[in-house]
Amino acid sequence: MFRKLLLLMSLVIAILAASTRWTVLPLAPATFTFVLMSAVLAIPWTVLLVISVLRCGKGGLWVLVGAPLVVFWPAWLGLLWLSCQLGAECM
């Protein structure tokens, strides 16, 4: 039961992190705000990952299912920043 609860909480946070583009951006004055909110949501998701691995061992690795959703926008911003630093065209 504990594993299912952790997985459910992880997926809810992951979906919230992935949907910040459509939920936070219309309310925010800057585009960077939704990426920041997505990165902030990655912190409790990481805590859930650590707790699930410590409590459940290999069975807790199912929390990693939400990793692509949590990492998408911060990774996109990081790649955009890197391309700007390397001299490519920036937005």
**What is the DSSP-derived secondary structure letter of residue 39?**
H
Which of the residues in the chain have pLDDT under 50? none
Angstrom distance (rounded) from CA 78 to CA 84: 10
Identify the domain containing residue 50 by its residue range: 2-85
- Domain-embedded: residue 91: no
pLDDT value at residue 47: 92
Q: Do residues 10 and 56 touch, judged by C-beta distance below 8 A?
A: no
pLDDT at 37: 84
Residue 15: inside a domain, yes or no?
Answer: yes
pLDDT of residue 91: 62
Quick one: DSSP state of residue 24? T
- Looking at the 3D structure of the chain, how many domains does it have? 1
